[in-house]
């Protein structure tokens, strides 16, 4: 579970805006995050991952304090070990599909399972430039899952997938999140994309 209380000034083209949030996200479940462009969806994910430092933050994950600006506590992104699916995938150009996963984990059985889940078993020797957009996006999802993260942060993770593939990935992802007991946040533009048990978070 993530318990979060944050304030972050955002420099937008309309002037300064403050992202304020005091809420919690359930373990073993997916929460969707909506909001107009520029409302701070990506910023929120990066704050949780430790990639953006807010003016005020208290973030607790499964009873472990990750950040408390009042007490000068701030775990590094490496210490937080979140799984992150970036909007632009951020794949390694010189690594094959399999190397991306081996870089994250030594668990060979888990890698096999992920490759099957992401329908990439036949493409293990390919580098990103030889993958389609949808295959690259699936690889980004698998890499994020490879570390069996307590916290899985996904920024528009299904945007390049066709409806059939999207349905399969979402079904598999829900099962994996439940199995790992991860807290998963998904930024989405499409309210109907994925139905979840938890109520969505709507940023103004």
Would you tell me which residues interact with ligand ATP (CB under 6 A)?
A: 10-12, 35, 37-43, 52
Task: Give the chain's end-to-end CA distance (angstroms, integer).
Answer: 23
* Cβ distance to ligand ATP smaller for residue 116 or 189: 189
CB of residue 186 to ligand ATP, shortest distance in Å? 12
CB of residue 35 to ligand ATP, shortest distance in Å? 5
Strand order in the sheet with 151-155: 83-85, 151-155, 183-187, 29-34, 201-202
* Cβ distance to ligand ATP smaller for residue 41 or 58: 41
Cα–Cα dist 48/115, whole Å: 27
Cα–Cα dist 140/128, whole Å: 10
CB of residue 189 to ligand ATP, shortest distance in Å? 7
CB of residue 116 to ligand ATP, shortest distance in Å? 31
CB of residue 10 to ligand ATP, shortest distance in Å? 3
* Cβ distance to ligand ATP smaller for residue 35 or 157: 35
* Cβ distance to ligand ATP smaller for residue 12 or 132: 12
Determine phi and psi for 114, rounding to 5 degrees: -65, -40
Which helix (H) or strand (E) is 32 found in, with range? strand 29-34
29 close to 196: Cβ distance less than 8 angstroms: yes
Cα–Cα dist 48/201, whole Å: 15
Give the tokens for residue 37: 């462009």
10 close to 179: Cβ distance less than 8 angstroms: no
* Cβ distance to ligand ATP smaller for residue 35 or 83: 35
């Amino acid at each position: 579970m993530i318990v979060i209380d944050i304030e972050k000034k955002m420099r937008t083209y309309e002037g300064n805006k403050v992202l304020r949030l005091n809420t919690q996200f359930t373990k073993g479940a997916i929460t969707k995050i909506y909001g107009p462009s520029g409302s701070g969806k990506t910023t929120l994910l990066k704050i949780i991952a430790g990639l953006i430092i807010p003016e005020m933050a208290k973030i607790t994950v499964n009873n472990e304090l990750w950040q408390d600006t009042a007490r000068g506590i701030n775990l590094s992104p490496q210490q937080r070990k979140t799984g992150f699916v970036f909007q632009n995938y951020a794949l390694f150009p010189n690594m094959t599909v399999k190397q991306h996963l081996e870089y994250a984990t030594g668990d060979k059985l888990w890698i096999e399972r992920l490759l099957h889940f992401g329908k990439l078993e036949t493409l293990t020797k390919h580098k990103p430039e030889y993958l389609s957009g949808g295959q690259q996006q699936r690889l980004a999802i698998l890499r994020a899952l490879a570390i069996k993260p307590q916290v899985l942060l996904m920024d528009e993770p299904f945007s390049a997938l066709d409806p059939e593939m999207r349905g399969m990935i979402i079904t598999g992802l829900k099962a994996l999140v439940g199995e790992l007991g991860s807290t998963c946040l998904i930024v989405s533009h499409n309210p109907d994309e994925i139905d979840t048990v938890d109520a969505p978070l709507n940023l103004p």
